[in-house]
């Protein structure tokens, strides 16, 4: 089962990389892009029997290691096999 963890900087934290990316987009002509925040994306392949178990494991991984709670927050998506079939 695959869990996707999206880690982003908390809104109050200054993001110079995101700002630089936004400026670069503006130079390329994308004036409509108002702001960019840069984050990290992890894909975890987990041996879990239910989506909830996978989500729990991913959340623990995020709490312990993947995200730094002082400056980052995260959200999780789980691709359960049943959902994958529906997507097909």
| CB burial of residue 70 (10 Å; 0-12, 13-18, 19+) | exposed
Closest to 50 (Cα-Cα) out of 29, 19, 81:
81
Contact 15, 9 (CB under 8 A): yes
Closest CA to 46 of 56, 38, 54, 34: 54
* Number of residues forming the site for another protein (CB under 8 A): 11
Q: Identify the residue among 14, 29, 31, 87 touching another protein (CB under 8 A).
A: 14
Q: Output 51 or 58, the one with its CB closest to another protein.
A: 58
Report the Cα 68 to chain-centroid distance in Å.
Answer: 13
Of residues 12 and 49, the one with the C-beta less far from another protein: 12
The interface mask with another protein, positions 17-56, x = CB under 8 A, is x--x------------------------------------
Among 28, 31, 65, 87, binds another protein (CB under 8 A): 65
- Interaction site with another protein (CB under 8 A): 12-14, 16-17, 20, 65-66, 68, 70-71
């Amino acid at each position: 089962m695959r869990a996707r963890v999206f880690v982003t900087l908390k809104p109050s934290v200054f993001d110079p990389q995101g700002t630089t990316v936004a400026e670069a987009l503006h130079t390329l002509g994308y004036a409509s892009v108002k702001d960019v925040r840069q984050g990290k994306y992890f894909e975890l392949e987990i041996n879990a029997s239910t989506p909830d178990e996978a989500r729990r494991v991913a959340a623990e991984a995020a709490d312990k290691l993947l995200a730094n709670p002082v400056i980052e927050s995260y959200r999780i998506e789980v691709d359960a096999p049943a959902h994958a079939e529906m997507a097909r």
